[in-house]
A and B are shown apart, each in its own frame.
Chain A
Amino acid sequence: MTAATDARLLVLGWNFRTAGEAVRERVAFTADEIREGLQGLVSRGVVSEGVIVSTCHRSEIYGVAGEGDAGAGLTRFVSEWRGLDPAELSGAGFHRVGDDAARHLFRVASGLDSMALGESEVLGQVRQALRLAREAGATRAVLHRLFEWAVAAGKRVRSETEIGVHPLSIPAIGFELAAKVFGDLSERTVLVLGAGETASLFARHAAEAGVSDLRIANRTPERAAELAMRVAGRPVPWETLADELGSADVVVGATASPAPVIRKEHVEPAMRKRRGRPIFFLDLAVPRDIEAEVADVYNVFVHGVNDLQEAAEANRVRRAREVPLAETILEEELGKFLAWFGNLSVVPTLTDLQRRFAAAQEAELARVPEAERERLRRFAEALSARLLHEPLRRLKAETDPGRKLDRVEAIRHVFRLDGDE
C-alpha cells in the first residue's frame, strides 16, 4: 500500500551494515547535537518534521518531506553540518522512502535490524529519539505517530515471539545456567577471581542481576579493591581463597594465572563445609583457572568458555527461527499505520467529512414528520455545503506539505473520522 499523500516518509542512515566505524563515528550525534540538527533541518525546510536515532551501531535521520529529492537535501545538510564529503557520505549510507522507510523503523524498533538479533535496548533508544525530537519541536502528526506505532510493534514482537528470550552474551548465559541450579541468584554469593576485563564484565553483570553478596579476589589486592568499589562488591584476600569456596555459590575464574588456581583438593573440603550445596564454576580464563578434575566432585558444575560460546550460537539460531513470525507481526502493524497515513491526504478526508455530515443529516431527518422531510433535507444539504465550503477550500489551497498534514490530522481528529482510538 502506498500513502496517497503529497508528503513522503524518508530515512537516511548509516549503520553497522553499510558504514565503517570511521564514518559512523563522525555521524554519531549527542543529544544536544540531535536537537540542534533537527532544528536546523526543519527551519531550513529540508523536511517538515524529523527524528534522529543515534546509537553505537546506527545513525538514522527520519523525515517527512514533499515531492522532490529530499534525500539529496538531507545528505547535503549532514555533509555541511559534519564537514564530510557528500559522495563519501551517501556511499556509506542507505536511503529509503515511503512504506520502506516506515518498515525500516519497525524492524529497527523490534531488534530485527540489530547486530545482536532481537536485543531490547534499541526499543528504548527509539523512544528516546522521539523524546529528543519532541523537545526540539521537530515532530508533528506523522513522525510522532510513526514512532509510537513502531515502539508498540516492537513491544508486540517481544511479547509474542521468543526473539529476545534466549540470551546471546556470554555472561548472561553463564548466569542463566547458574540460576537454573540455584533459582534466584540475588540471595547467593558470587566470587569473582581476577580483576581484568573479563572479571569486571562478569562482576558488573552479577551486580546488575541483583547479586547482593559479590566478592572479588585478586593476587594484587589493590586491583580487587578497585573493582569491588566499582560494582559495590567486597574484596577478599587471595590467600583465603580455599575458605571462600565454603560460602561462594558461583565462582567466576578470570585470572591471568599460568596454572589453575582452584584445585580438587580445595573443592572437596569446601563441599563438606557446604553440606553438599552445589558450587557452580564459570572458567573464562585461558589457560584454565579451575583444574579439570574439579568437575568430578559430586554436585559441582564447571563450565568453560567453549560451552558458553556453543550455547550462545545455539541461542542465536533459536532467535533467528523467530524472525518470520516477528516479520508477520510487523507487517500487520505496519499495514495499520500505512492505512492511517494513507487517509492523511486531502481527498479521502474530504469524502469522509462529507459522509459524516450526510449521516448526521439523515439521523436528524428521521425524527421529523414525513411530510416536512423533503423540504428540510434541501435546507440541511444547503447548510452543510455552506458550512463545509470554507474549511475545504483552505485545506485544498495549503501548499506547505507539513502544515497540510497537520490540518488533515486535526480535522480527522476533531470529527473522529478514524473511529474511536
Chain B
Amino acid sequence: MDGHFLGWLAVFLYVAAEALAIVALVGERVPGAAPVALAAGLAVQFADLQAQARVMHSVPYRTLSGSLALFGWMLGVAYLLLWLRHRERSIGPFLIPFVILFSLLAMWLPSPPSAPRPETQGVLFALHVTLAILGYAAFAISFVLSLLYLVQARQIRRARTGLLFSRLPSLEAIGGMNRTAVAIGLSSLVVSTLLGTIWAARYWNGLGDAKLVWAVFTLAVYGLLLWMDRRGWKGQRVALLSIVGFGLVLFSYTVVNLYFSRAHTFR
C-alpha cells in the first residue's frame, strides 16, 4: 500500500483532532472527541511507520524524515497519556499543532533509500533511538506547558479574567504536569545516553562524539530544573529554564546532528 496515503490520512485526523480540541476549549463542547481523533491518527501513523519499516528492512527512524515522523508520533502518544492521567483538555490545542508539523515535515523531507549498516540493526540501537525520541517529545511537551504557565501567570498578575484565563488550568496544575513531563524526558534521555555510550564503545574506538557532549549538557539543564523546582524556585524561573532547555534540544536535533556529529547524521 502507498505509504503516503496512510501518512496523509494520519495528518488529516490530526487536523481534525486540533479542530475538535479548539471547539472543546472555546465552546466547552465534545470534550472527548479530540483525543479519539488523535488516537485514530496515531494508529494510522503507526501503520504507516510499520509499512515503511518493511520497505526499508530496518527501523524507520534511521533517516531524518523517519525520526521526525517518530518524534511527532511520540509527541501525540505522550499527550494522550497526559490527557488520560490529568483529563486536562486545555493544552491539546497548543500541542497537537506540533504533532501535525512534525508529521508534515517527515513527509516532505526526502528519505533517501540506503542499505542499513549492520550496527544499526540491534535491539540496543533501536532502544537508544526510541528512548531519545521519547525524551525529546517529553521536553517538547514541557516547553509548551512552560509557555502556557507564563501566559497564565501574566493573566493572573494583570487580573485579566477572560476566556484564556478561565480555560487554562491553574499554575499549580500546569507546574505539576510540567514536572511529570521533565521527569519522563530526563529519565528517558539518561537511559538512552547510557545505551548509546555502550553501543558506541562496542562499535567505535572511543566516545568522542559531539552529540554525547550535547546530551550531557541538555541533561544538566533539565537536572538543574528539577533541582530548582524542589528547592522552591518553582514558578516562572522553572518555566523559563524549560524553554531554554528545549532550545538546546532543538539545536542538538538539527545543527549538532547535521554538522558536528559522527554518528547522528542520518546517512
Contacts and interface: CB of A to CB of B under 8 A. Distances in A.
A282 B252 CA distance: 45
B156 A301 contact: yes
A307 interface: yes
A281 B9 CA distance: 51
A276 B232 contact: yes
Interface stretch (A13-21, A175-183, A210-218, A401-409): A175-183
Interface stretch (A1-9, A259-267, A311-319): A311-319
A275 interface: yes
B159 A275 contact: no
B159 A277 contact: no
A277 B236 CA distance: 12
B114 interface: no
Interface in B166-194: 166, 168-173
Given A276-B235, A278-B235, A298-B237, A311 B159 contact: yes
B158 to A, nearest CB: 8
A271 B234 CA distance: 12
Interface residues of B, number: 24
> Which label, helix, strand, loop or mixed, suits the secondary structure of the A interface?
helix
Given A180-B171, A278-B171, A315 B231 contact: no
Contacts of B171: 180-182, 278
Contact of B234 (A165, A277, A308, A314): A277
A54 B17 CA distance: 49
Contacts, number: 64
B142 interface: no
Given A165-B166, A182-B170, A182-B172, A276 B156 contact: no
A276 B231 contact: yes
Interface in A176-215: 176-177, 179-183
A219 interface: no
A179 B160 CA distance: 14
A274 interface: yes
A59 B220 CA distance: 69
A240 B235 CA distance: 28
A166 B170 contact: no
30 contacts: A165-B166, A166-B161, A166-B166, A179-B170, A180-B168, A180-B171, A181-B170, A181-B171, A181-B172, A182-B172, A183-B173, A276-B231, A276-B232, A276-B233, A276-B235, A277-B232, A278-B235, A298-B233, A298-B237, A299-B234, A299-B235, A299-B236, A307-B159, A310-B159, A311-B159, A311-B160, A311-B161, A314-B160, A314-B162, A318-B162
Given A181-B171, A183-B169, A298-B235, 18 more contacts: A173-B159, A180-B152, A180-B155, A180-B168, A181-B172, A183-B170, A183-B172, A183-B173, A272-B232, A278-B235, A299-B234, A299-B236, A301-B156, A307-B158, A311-B160, A311-B161, A314-B160, A315-B161
